[in-house]
Structure 1
Amino acid sequence: MVSDQSRKIIKRSYDDIENAKLIRIGNQFADDFLFQDNKATAIPINALRIIFNIISILRNDQFMPKKQVRQLTLFDEEFETENNVFISMKIRNKKISEKRSSKQIVEAYEYLTKFRMGWYTSKNIAGKDIKTFGGLISLPTYEKRGYTSFLISSFWLKKLIVLTEYNHIIYELVYEIRNNKHILFAIWLLKVPEDGTILKLSTFNQKFGLNYKTSNDFCVKFLRPIRLSLDKLEDQLSFNYKYEGDMISIIPYLNKNDENKSLTEKTNDTRVINQRLRYFRRRYCLEGIDSTRFVYSYSNISKIRSEIDKAYIKFIENNRAKGIASNNIRGIYFLQELQKFLIEVYRESETGKRFPNAYPVIL
Structure 2
Amino acid sequence: MKDTYSFNSTVSEEIEPVRHYKGKKHSDIVNFPIALRREILSPLTNKKLLTAPITTARIIFKILNDLSYDQFQVKRNKGQLSLFDKDFMTKHNTYARFTYKVSDIDKNLNYRQVEKGLEFLEELEKGWHKAKNLRGKTIRSYGGVISNANISKGEISFLMSSYWIEKFLKICSYNPVFFDTAWELSKMKQVLFYLWLLELPEKGTKVKLENLQEAYDYSYKDANTFNKSVLKPLRAKLDRSSNVSFNSSVKGNLINIKPYYTKDIDLNLRKETFTRQHITQKLHYWKTRHELSSNDIDILKSLINIEKSTFRLFVKAYDSFIRNCRINKKKATNHTGKEFIKLFQERIIEEYKSSAWAEMKGAQNAYPVITPTNLEI
Shorter-normalised TM-score: what interval?
0.5 to 0.7
- Quick check: 1:245 aligned with 2:252? yes
Corresponding residue for residue 130 of structure 2: 121
Corresponding residue for residue 218 of structure 1: 226
> Which amino acid in structure 1 is aligned with residue 211 of structure 2?
T
* C-alpha deviation, 1:238, in angstroms: 0.9
> Which amino acid in structure 2 is aligned with residue 123 of structure 1?
K
Written as runs of structure 1 = structure 2, the 5 A alignment for 1:126-141 is 126-141=135-150
Change (3 A) 1:230 1:221: same
Deviation per CA, 1:94-122, whole angstroms, max 9, x where unpaired? 12222212222222211211222111111
Within the candidate set 11, 14, 21, 1:14 is matched to 21
Alpha-carbon distance in structure 2 between the residues aligned to 1:90 and 1:256: 34
Alpha-carbon distance in structure 2 between the residues aligned to 1:237 and 1:118: 35
Corresponding residue for residue 46 of structure 1: 55
Alpha-carbon distance in structure 1 between the residues aligned to 2:43 and 2:229: 25
* C-alpha deviation, 1:137, in angstroms: 0.9
Give aligned pairs, total.
271
> Which amino acid in structure 1 is aligned with residue 119 of structure 2?
E
Change (3 A) 1:12 1:196: same
Corresponding residue for residue 79 of structure 2: 70
* C-alpha deviation, 1:179, in angstroms: 2.2
* C-alpha deviation, 1:26, in angstroms: 0.5
Alpha-carbon distance in structure 1 between the residues aligned to 2:115 and 2:75: 38
RMSD: 3.1
Q: After alignment, is 106-115 or 39-48 more displaced?
A: 39-48
* C-alpha deviation, 1:8, in angstroms: 4.0
Corresponding residue for residue 182 of structure 1: 190
Deviation per CA, 1:149-190, whole angstroms, max 9, x where unpaired? 110111111111121211011011111111221111111101
Corresponding residue for residue 155 of structure 1: 163
Alpha-carbon distance in structure 2 between the residues aligned to 1:39 and 1:196: 24
Within the candidate set 60, 64, 79, 1:55 is matched to 64
CA contact (8 A) 2:75 2:171 kept: no
* C-alpha deviation, 1:193, in angstroms: 1.0
CA contact (8 A) 2:43 2:216 kept: no
TM-score calculated relative to the size of structure 2: 0.65
For the residue of structure 2 that corresponds to 1:63, the secondary structure is helix
Change (3 A) 1:143 1:215: same
For the residue of structure 2 that corresponds to 1:122, the secondary structure is strand
CA contact (8 A) 1:64 1:162 kept: no
* C-alpha deviation, 1:59, in angstroms: 1.2
For the residue of structure 1 that corresponds to 2:67, the secondary structure is helix
For the residue of structure 2 that corresponds to 1:46, the secondary structure is helix
Alpha-carbon distance in structure 1 between the residues aligned to 2:158 and 2:171: 23
CA contact (8 A) 1:196 1:249 kept: yes
> Which amino acid in structure 2 is aligned with residue 100 of structure 1?
L
Alpha-carbon distance in structure 2 between the residues aligned to 1:223 and 1:80: 44
Unaligned runs of 5+ in 1: 259-309, 323-339, 348-352, 354-363
Deviation per CA, 1:28-59, whole angstroms, max 9, x where unpaired? 11112211645662221111111111111111
> Which amino acid in structure 2 is aligned with residue 246 of structure 1?
N
Change (3 A) 1:255 1:176: same
* C-alpha deviation, 1:5, in angstroms: 5.7
CA contact (8 A) 2:89 2:139 kept: yes
Change (3 A) 1:152 1:94: same
- Show structure 1 runs of 4+ deviating over 4 A: 36-40, 64-67, 340-345
Deviation per CA, 1:305-330, whole angstroms, max 9, x where unpaired? xxxxx9xx99xx78xx89xxxxxxxx
The percentage of counterpart residues that share the same residue type is 31
> Which amino acid in structure 2 is aligned with residue 95 of structure 1?
D
Written as runs of structure 1 = structure 2, the 5 A alignment for 1:1-363 is 6=12, 8-35=15-42, 37-38=44-45, 41-42=49-50, 43-63=52-72, 67-144=76-153, 146-233=154-241, 236-257=243-264
* C-alpha deviation, 1:78, in angstroms: 1.4
Alpha-carbon distance in structure 1 between the residues aligned to 2:207 and 2:261: 21
Corresponding residue for residue 331 of structure 1: none
Change (3 A) 1:96 1:67: closer
Deviation per CA, 1:284-320, whole angstroms, max 9, x where unpaired? xxxxxxxxxxxxxxxxxxxxxxxxxx9xx99xx78xx
> Which amino acid in structure 2 is aligned with residue 99 of structure 1?
N
Q: After alignment, is 249-258 or 148-157 more displaced?
A: 249-258
> Which amino acid in structure 2 is aligned with residue 70 of structure 1?
G
Unaligned runs of 5+ in 2: 1-9, 266-318, 338-343, 345-377
Alpha-carbon distance in structure 1 between the residues aligned to 2:64 and 2:213: 28
Alpha-carbon distance in structure 2 between the residues aligned to 1:164 and 1:135: 23
Alpha-carbon distance in structure 2 between the residues aligned to 1:210 and 1:71: 44
> Which amino acid in structure 1 is aligned with residue 23 of structure 2?
D
CA contact (8 A) 1:9 1:84 kept: no
CA contact (8 A) 1:81 1:130 kept: yes
